[in-house]
Amino acid sequence: MTKTSWERRHVLSLADFTAEELETVVETAVSFRDVLSRRTRKVPALQGLVVTNMFFEPSTRTRSSFELAAKRLSADVLNFAPGTSSLTKGETILDTAKTYLAMGTNLMVVRHQETGVPQAIAMEMDRLHSGVGVLNGGDGLHAHPSQALLDLFTLALTLDPDHPTSKQLAGKKIAIVGDILHSRVARSNLWCLTACGANVHLAAPPTLLPPGFADAFISQSPLAISRAIVQHNTLAPALSEADFVMTLRLQKERMTQHRLPSLREYHQGFGLTRDRLRLCQPTVKVLHPGPVNRGVEISSELMDDPALSLISEQVTSGVAVRMALLYLMGVGKGE
């Protein structure tokens, strides 16, 4: 494992991640990808540490891949499930976190349907001088850093399988299509991709991508770097000459009003199909964070086409990238 400098105790958002930090994650994930391809797929890096998964909202890939990542680093893993926990008896979230702290937890991965919960836990852990690192596993509409980082790793790997680097993304056109308004994945990707110098084009109906969204987003940047984001309310200009297209799930559970006429009409306007990808670069590939509404944001046929879809690669990359994050945050904690 290469020695890298890493200053962050918590990973709550990518808004203030520099290009160098993003590259550190990619480089570290590359070495863990090599570990995962060996016969013994485990390293002792986090032996003796406890990683607690606190998922207050449903999850398949994020929770499971954090669990596998922690195990492959030889950490002990605790999984918290709200439905069978003392939350049902009225225990608060912070008291639940403190309970896991008292058991010796070193790293917490927190997912919650409300924005800010991982940050609130991180602040409490700091107030107690616990040294615990908190990783945001997805909070409300706000952020999902590990998803954007695994997307970055997947893109870098596709662009140069032998030497994946985030530097390859500079100048690439990446379209993000779909339910941008309700997507923490889109927000984290916007910070991440623009910091790497990619040109991001957003496409969605105005109800899912309101006027001024991109400018308002850029104006919140805590770093003084230029970020290239263009928004469109039709699909064609976003797809035109795109190197990659990322499509997002329609987040029906987060829609408070009826924002769409019908799913069929949505698919007609913004659903990705093989046919529509003809507007893109001939080497175009499609990403989707999952879970997918087949036939809504993406056609079944395109989703299952291994020549065009990176969806399985994203899931595979997720383990190496989450190993990298847990390693960078956890190394040194056990000594």
Q: Which is nearer to ligand NCD, 147 or 199 (CB)?
A: 147
Does 251 bind ligand NCD (CB under 6 A)? Our answer is: yes
CA distances, 31 to each of 27, 41, 51 (Å)? 7, 12, 21
Does 184 bind ligand NCD (CB under 6 A)? Our answer is: yes
CB of 290 to ligand NCD, least distance (A): 5
Crossing angle of helices 311-330/145-159, nearest 10°? Answer: 120
Among 144, 172, 285, 322, binds ligand NCD (CB under 6 A): 144
Q: Which is nearer to ligand NCD, 113 or 221 (CB)?
A: 113
Taking each continuous run of H as one helix and of E as one strand, the counts in the chain are 11, 9
Helix ranges restricted to H, the chain = 19-36, 61-72, 93-102, 117-127, 145-159, 184-195, 213-219, 236-239, 263-270, 300-303, 311-330
Does 33 bind ligand NCD (CB under 6 A)? Our answer is: no
CB of 119 to ligand NCD, least distance (A): 17
Among 8, 9, 61, 167, binds ligand NCD (CB under 6 A): 61
Answer positive or negative: Cα dihedral of 41, 45, 48, 53.
negative
User: CA 76 to CA 105: how far, in whole Å?
Assistant: 9
Among 116, 140, 269, 290, binds ligand NCD (CB under 6 A): 290
The label of the residue with tokens 């991965």 reads 109
Per-residue binding letters, 80-119, with ligand NCD (x by CB under 6 A): ----------------------------------------
Q: Which is nearer to ligand NCD, 13 or 106 (CB)?
A: 13
Among 14, 22, 69, 138, binds ligand NCD (CB under 6 A): 138
C-alpha gyration radius of the chain: 20
Note the residues at the interface with ligand NCD (CB under 6 A): 61-62, 138, 144, 147, 184-185, 249, 251, 289-290
